[in-house]
Amino acid sequence: MDLISFMKSYVDLTPEDEIYISQFLKVEQYGKGDIIRQPNTKSKIIHFIEQGYARNFYEKNGKDITYFFLKENTFTLPVDAVYFNDPTKYGLQAEEDLQLTSFMYSDFHRMIERVPGILHLYEIEMAKFIRQLSDKYYLIQFQPALERYNSMLEKYPDILLHVSLGHIASYLGITQETLSRIRTK
């Protein structure tokens, strides 16, 4: 779904509002494996995934660790850079061919000034993000590997069709060998 259609499912937009908002939007295409945002940058760009899967990742001790998966109709923004003007720890990478819409956080405020109802959509999306953080914390802290895997499949039922097994193992905090054993059960 394109961003304007997604917004319209939450907010009443006039044709003039749509034209106004569209001036700030940039539709982009990425291929599998393309890096959209590098870690340790101060990007203040919000991305909306229209088609495909992406992942947030970070690097620790030379290892690439998957933090979150992002599927269609999902927003992502570098929280550290946007809210604290610090470099973001997390990069963004296409897991498959990807279409997304990008816009600057500062332009987002212009959109809210014109269409205050967009703030409600923002609050809903931030609540989803906070829940996602909470779920991820619970997953890693309290669930054994098999339960983590099953929880991931509940949240992302089609993930095995879109994401590499190495990135899935990294997201779950397990080795690829452990993931293979879990999958054979």
pLDDT band, residue 171 (cuts 50/70/90): very high
Average pLDDT over residues 34-57: 96
| β-bridge partners, 92 | 37, 56
Contact 82, 44 (CB under 8 A): yes
pLDDT tens-digit series, residues 128-166: 999 988 988 888 888 999 999 999 999 899 999 999 999
| pTM for the predicted model, two decimal places | 0.90
State how many domains the chain has.
1
Distance CA 46, CA 104 (A): 6
**Alpha-helix runs per DSSP H in the chain:** 3-8, 15-22, 79-84, 105-114, 118-142, 145-155, 165-172, 176-184
Q: Give me the CATH number covering residue 11.
A: 2.60.120.10
User: What is the domain extent for residue 74?
Assistant: 3-184
